[in-house]
Amino acid sequence: MTDQIITGHTRLGCLLGTPVAHSISPMMHNEAFRLLGLDCVYLCFDTRHADLRNMVQTLKEMNVYGFNLTMPDKERILPFLDDLSPAARMIGAVNTVKNENGCLIGHNTDGIGYMRSLQDTGYNVKSGAMTLFGAGGAASSIAIQAALDGVPALHIINRRGRSWENAKRLVRQITENTDCHADLTDMADHDAVRNRIANSTLLANATSIGMAPDTNITPVPDLSCFHTELLVSDIIYNPRCTRLLQDAMATGCKTFNGMYMLLYQGAAAFRIWTGQDMPVEEIRRKFFS
């Protein structure tokens, strides 16, 4: 295998959001480019204080092949794109953008990544109800993909606030367009949240609660609702074992974190950009073992 060489023809891609310095995406994508001999690179840009409109216009003028978005830019990006894939339009959020001859097309691969990582655990999504914390970009993508893949009931838990209306829209979309029964519960209603989890076989945290540096917090402070038939997941991968996952393991639940979701959503984005399959097994062995 040869080293990756930057040339005058090398094309740029990147990750936008905040925080991004911890992201494994640059290592993953750059290794995939190297293995396949593609003249591309991938970097991270923290957008905490960025003018997103101007940044996107600059990326377009630089003729990037595309870029990813993480919190808080998955919804903020929408007005600055030229078009959306059907899935991204339904979800209302974008995590992957492809530059198609100067037109920026938004896609969403989060749900695909989550469901593929769930498949690795051997869990059958049709086997029971799912409780999902969050209604933002990643949560919406996971919720819709889970509903499309056959989860019979989906309990969405969200705070009343800016994303509450989005959560209600998400429930309507799922109810009207799939066979899944979806409902919405206020995170502050602790008895209702406890009941939803107790009657689920899958729990997913798709919020930033528990992400570094605030690693000592969890969306489920009351562990009485955990049971041994519950599979607990967290899309956070920094830290790899969040407080939620630690508590779940201590009560006998099976768990998985956001690392493989990151791998599989990245592989889907890689294919959108390049038309080629990411060498997933090589990437998994090098960065995810």
Catalytic residues: 74
Structure tokens at 9: 């023809």
Largest Cα–Cα separation, the chain: 60
Question: CA–CA distance from 11 to each of 37, 63, 126, 161, 266 (Å)?
Answer: 13, 8, 42, 40, 18
* Helix intervals (H) in 94-154: 110-120, 137-148
**What DSSP element (H or E) covers 248?**
helix 243-250
- What span, in angstroms and rounded, lies between the C-alpha atoms of 202 and 230? 6
C-alpha–C-alpha distance, residues 135 and 38, integer Å: 36
Beta bridge partners of 204: 132, 233
Angle between helices 25-36 and 259-274 (to 10 degrees): 40
CA distances (Å), origin 37, targets 5, 53, 66: 10, 32, 18
Helix (H) or strand (E) holding 46: strand 40-46
**Geometric angle at alpha carbon 76, from 26 and 269, rounded to 5°:** 35
Closest by Cα among 161, 247, 258 to 197: 247
Report DSSP letters for 140-154, one per residue.
HHHHHHHHHTT-SEE
Given a contact cutoff of 8 angstroms between Cβ atoms, the answer to whether 177 and 171 are in contact is no
